[in-house]
Structure 1
């Protein structure tokens, strides 16, 4: 059994064939899906998916969409977290340092969401691009008991260890399948068995050999095989460990 620990099944990319996408994933052994929220406008779609028994949901405000977020969205997030006990984490939130013009606002929004998670002892699902060291430093200052997931991790073994020491796991996805990702491969090989989950970030982050295609949760099985190769383990071991880690983190 596999869990896709991060996929955006609520996105309109799947409106035409969402159930067929789920069935293809099931055929590959994927039995559960964790769907994070990205904007307040999309939360109702995420919550609707949460009515399914095979979906766990998170709610958050993503740094990529800074132009859509409003100050009142944070209060709405706090209310939504309190009103929906089925929410398993705060996220997707975080820092994307590619967008320097919004970086200060990103940090303010991220910090506010970390505090919401801390107050509720919820895990945090973190989007972290070109900011691993800075994000790790901030997490260390807050002592988040719920831990969380560093989504789409692409850093070094040393950066991975910092996050693990803080009680986080790293998310391994399509980047692992690319031969050129040597530093990431070293990090994957260095992880303890309880230090990672598997994910696709569908419909984004296509795998090697699938450039230009819509990504799907079924391809977490390909991620599993790639991780197994990098770790020198069999796929059943990686599937078992990653599923146990996702279940522990998200209580799903």
Structure 2
């Protein structure tokens, strides 16, 4: 079964010099699918121009919390802008599989009060489009869970780079959200997250690199890459006491079910 990287910023400049070489190595290692999230309105065009060049690559349309400060339209117009862009992609190669990356980040200068209407607009767009939502959450689980309980998202979504307790993980899973598993679990000090992801049903998990970010233990300060995704599968398998093949098969099925790929 092929590995699917459910979250990789492969369009970023960090891969500009050797993107095709990296992907060639990925394919040799069994990574054959990838979802590239949206982060800002100006990026969407470039993202899908790239996605449509390669079988196995898929995109999403969204505004990341880090780019909220640069949003050139009022939040009230964002949902319609997303719906319009997704409609444009669906009229072509139809490689748009989600709304996001969006969410709340309490570690940045932009106040949560400014991030919130932008996030709500993307929830609205995901509901209207019947697409899953890719959520970025940093120190804002309570706010996001409270908001999701007030909304109806027919296709659920994924909590990207999940970091938290088993109790929080179970809350998201009940709300129809998968949990993104990445390089964080390669660090023994991430005991709470490792324990939570070892205890959750394998049916609730997706593998992700978040490359070029989220470097693995032993690779701090280096560019992360989707070619390291097999190490995430191996670590998760070790934590759960099962085979890597079982992890790869189930998480691949999960990604295909969520994103319709």
The alignment's TM-score, normalised by the length of structure 1, stands at 0.97
What secondary structure sits across from 1:194 in the alignment? helix
Quote the residue 2:160 is aligned against: 151
Partner residue in 2 for 1:185: 194
Gaps of 5+ in 2: none
* 1:76 and 2:86 correspond: no
Inter-CA distance 41–101: structure 2 relative to 1 (3 Å threshold): closer
* Offset, 1:77: 2.1
SS state at 1:142 partner: coil
Q: Within the alignment, does 1:230 sit opposite 2:244 as a pair? A: no
Task: Confirm whether residue 63 of structure 1 aligns to residue 68 of structure 2.
Answer: no
Question: What is the Cα deviation at residue 101 of structure 1?
Answer: 4.0
Distance in 1 (CA, whole Å) between partners of 2:139 and 2:71 is 22
For 1:136, the equivalent position in structure 2 comes to 145
Q: Matches of 1:67 and 1:248 in 2, distance apart?
A: 33
1:100 Cα offset (Å)? 5.4
User: What is the CA distance between 1:71 and its match in structure 2?
Assistant: 1.9
Equivalent pairs, count: 252
Moved over 6 A (4+): none
Give the Cα–Cα distance (whole angstroms) in 1 for the partners of residues 61 and 198 of structure 2.
31
Are residues 1:95 and 2:100 paired? no
Partner of 1:30: 31
Question: What is the TM-score with the length of structure 2 in the denominator?
Answer: 0.94
Structure 2 SS opposite 1:113: helix
Q: Distance in 2 between matches of 1:144 and 1:60?
A: 16
